[in-house]
Amino acid sequence: MQRILENKDVILQRKSDLGLITRSRNELIEAFGAGALKFIIKDELGLESKANKPDKLKPLDSFTEEQQREALRKQSYINLAVKALGEEPCHQKLKNYIDLFADRLQDSNPPSSITLYRWWVTWIKSGKDIISLVTRSEGRASVYLKEYREVIYEVIDEVLMTPEYGSRQDAFDLFKVKLNELNSIRLDPLDMPSRATFYRLLKSLIDPQELTAARHGKRAAEMEFRVSGKGVTSTRILERVEIDHTPIDLIVVDERIGEAVGRPTLTMILDHYSRMPLGFYLGFEPPSSVAVMRAIRHAIMPKSYVNDDYPDFENGWPAYGVFWVLVCDNGSEFHDHQLQRMANELNIELFYCPKQHPYYKGAVERFLGTLNRAVCHSASGSTRSNIQQRGNYNSAQEASITLEKLRRLIHDWIINIYSREYHEGLGDSPVNVWTKGLQHVEPTLPLSRERLDLTLTKEFERTINHEGVSLFRLKYNSHELGLLRRQLTEKALVKVRIDPENLGQVWAYDEREGSFFSVPCIDPEYAEGLSQRQHEYILKHRTNTRKALDTDELLERKVRFKRDVREASKAKGLRKRTKAAQLSQLPIVDVDQLSVPKREEQLPLIDIDEMDEFDMDELDELDMDWRAEK
């Protein structure tokens, strides 16, 4: 990517012949959403970094506690610098803020301004990856590069970052003098790099906007690079977003049987600056880390699906991108260590509202109230917001809207009405404020869709043995996992990640390679497409809980589970139908397409009349278990 034009077209350089081509932002956004586009990080020598691979995701907690603390300390300084000075690294002004930052962080040993600037530049060049701030033990080549950088930064300050700026040749001449001086006191003198190597290092270490500002002034730099550079207040999109859950004031019906199944939950993420909704999750999943994960994914990803799913809509949903701060309340799902890990990997800061101060995320709370009144209160099956408003209206009997229809209504209201209406607090419409904000902030995305999927998982540590790894009483194994086991000590622990919406595979972490690789479940017929919640319900209703886990029995139980859900969906009680909808909302192999493997001695057919009762009290217990940390 060479440059983003004022009309938001992007100039790209073709790798094959270095030719320049132009693509619109929308074309690139759609390609990213389809998984056909990823971002490439280059190292200091201009070579492609290994970090570009989707599985090259080294967790922060894989480093020592001291390395983690130091990386988080660096990140805290960078966060304060960005809030004070804007997104672009700026060395000159940092000198005036170091003492203020150190006082705020209660740090008795603050970095120098040039050190903080280097951290900042390194972090930006890594794609804002906190792992780039980890201090690591370095080999000889890395030490040489580090030494070169120290000398080059001195040269930049003395030759290039001045109104009487010199040329690159002047910089190289001074560099040779300084390196010779350094070598005169070293026991192992450093090799003198070639002019071409020096120029590559110089280009990688100097910030073009900072250079223009030093030579021609801040105004000229802002005009050339088209950035806002504004300060500490919330004056840009994606700087601060708020998240909250609410039960929808509407009872929805199961489209298969036409029966009311209860009130779904809406988890919403709203951009504070523009009041533009970024993304949401709608379903029967109770407030949990899973609901938060789904909402975050929807918020970050481009909404290119709107044109395909709702072709009759006149407008699109332009909001997307990784946000800076996520403001949340003190619910247990937000204090989950899994969410903290995901936030670290996405470089999102979690901000918890002080207790009894709900106005810290008042924007999203007001938005949810407006949405409920606008979308739900005039629809059949509305519960209104309180019993006085509801009167004698029987919400369950009047319900006629399905979950998918409700999802469409919410999309329609957000895209075609709310985002385009005049907002009193903004003095404009949310979509106009968002669009104007794009002139100053270019939304960032993860390196790839696969990288985002790997981040938005649950992570555990498990012992690896000849049977592989076990998670939720399911076993996962592969040839690659066996090779990893041979390199480790007996009973070694490995990090394992899993998508709670699909137990068909896990991702195991190879510390030596610094990457994750997928490991399938040894019982794919059972686990593929099965959610963690569904699996836990099935285990609760096994015939003999002390018996070792048996694949055929679980497949039979999976069949019965689907039938249980269908029966409960037809139950007279709304509470039972709501629980059934909660279990059935996630993908699961349809019972009509599921055949139990044949054995040498075929089991007798299951008599549906003799099945265990669908015990809703036990399902309530499962709700409590689900919130607990595994």
Q: Give tens-digit pLDDT for 161-219.
A: 777 778 889 889 999 999 898 888 877 788 888 888 888 778 766 767 667 777 777 66
Mean pLDDT of 331-352: 88
The residue whose two tokens read 């669908």 is 614
pLDDT category at 374 given cuts 50, 70, 90 is confident
Query: Which tokens belong to 160?
Result: 């290039």
Q: Is the pLDDT of residue 586 over 50?
A: no
Nearest-10 crossing angle of helices 113-125, 140-155: 120
pLDDT category at 564 given cuts 50, 70, 90 is low
Mean pLDDT of 237-244: 93
Q: Give tens-digit pLDDT for 124-144.
A: 877 777 888 887 654 444 444
3-state secondary structure 291-331: HHHHHHHHHHCCCCHHHHHCCCCCCCCCCCCCCCEEEECCC
Exposure string for 358-388, b = 16+ CB within 10 A, e = fewer: eeebebbbebbeebbeebbeebebbbbeeee
Residue among 484, 571, 561, 491 nearest 530 (CA): 561
Q: Give tens-digit pLDDT for 106-115.
A: 888 888 888 8
Query: At a CB cut-off of 8 Å and minimum separation 6, what does 62 contact?
Result: 495, 509, 511
Residue among 279, 275, 281 nearest 301 (CA): 279
pLDDT category at 94 given cuts 50, 70, 90 is confident
Q: Is the pLDDT of residue 577 over 90?
A: no
Exposure string for 573-612, b = 16+ CB within 10 A, e = fewer: ebebbbbbbbbbbbebbeeeeeebeeeeeeeeeeeeeeee
pLDDT category at 356 given cuts 50, 70, 90 is low
pLDDT category at 591 given cuts 50, 70, 90 is very low
Q: How many helices (H) and strands (E) are present in the chain, helices listed first?
A: 25, 16
- Classify burial at 93, counting beta carbons within 10 Å of its beta carbon; exposed 0-12, middle 13-18, buried 19 or more: middle
Concatenate the DSSP letters of all residues of 112-123 into one string. Answer: PHHHHHHHHHHH
Residue among 334, 191, 365 nearest 272 (CA): 365
Mean pLDDT of 569-587: 51
Mean pLDDT of 557-568: 60
What domains can be seen in the chain, in order of their start residue?
61-225 (no CATH), 240-435 (3.30.420.10), 457-522 (2.40.50), 532-627 (no CATH)
CB 622 within 8 A of CB 540: yes
Q: Give tens-digit pLDDT for 146-160.
A: 567 768 877 887 888
Chain-centroid distance of CA 570 in Å reads: 38
Q: What is the pLDDT of residue 549?
A: 55
Beta strands in 234-309 (DSSP E): 240-247, 252-253, 260-262, 265-271, 277-283
pLDDT category at 2 given cuts 50, 70, 90 is low
Residue 159 three-state SS:
helix
Residue 619 three-state SS:
helix
Q: What is the pLDDT of residue 139?
A: 44
CB 430 within 8 A of CB 270: no
Least confident of 403-407, 463-467, 618-622: 618-622
Q: What angle do CA 228, 229, 233 make, to 5 degrees?
A: 95
Laid out side by side, the sheet with 3-4 consists of 3-4, 10-13, 20-23
Q: Is the pLDDT of residue 385 over 50?
A: no
pLDDT category at 43 given cuts 50, 70, 90 is low
Residue among 311, 250, 317, 241 nearest 272 (CA): 241
Beta bridge partners of 10: 4, 23
Give 186 or 528, the one with higher predicted confidence: 528
The residue whose two tokens read 């909302």 is 585
Find the helix or strand (DSSP H, E) in which 203 lies. helix 195-205
Distance separating alpha carbons of residues 298 and 292, to the nearest angstrom = 10
